[in-house]
Amino acid sequence: NDQPEHRRVDPKRVSVRYSNLSGNVSITFLVVGDEYEYAVKKVLNLINEVFVGFLNVHFQEYTAEHFHKQED
């Protein structure tokens, strides 16, 4: 509840699971019922947060090397 609405996932609509096996990270979304539109929006928001927020802020060198982004 301390996150803004766009950053929350309703567990009654989508279940999100994270795993890290020897540095190989995966995120799984399990859609409940027919909540596909909601799930896709949440997946896109998460991808955006990972690339624009997390990687770009904390791993600028990695982002520049793997995604050809110019470092600031």
Please choose, from the candidates 27, 10, 29, 9, the residue with its C-alpha nearest in 3D space to the C-alpha of residue 18: 27
In whole angstroms, how large is the CA radius of gyration of the chain?
A: 15
More confident residue, 68 or 42: 42
* Whole-number Å distance between alpha carbons of 18 and 25: 7
Q: Which residues on neighbouring strands pair with residue 16, listed in sequence order?
A: 29
- Top pLDDT among 20 and 65 is at 20
CA distance 44 to 31: 14
Report pLDDT digits (tens) over 21-50. Answer: 998 989 999 999 999 999 999 989 888 888
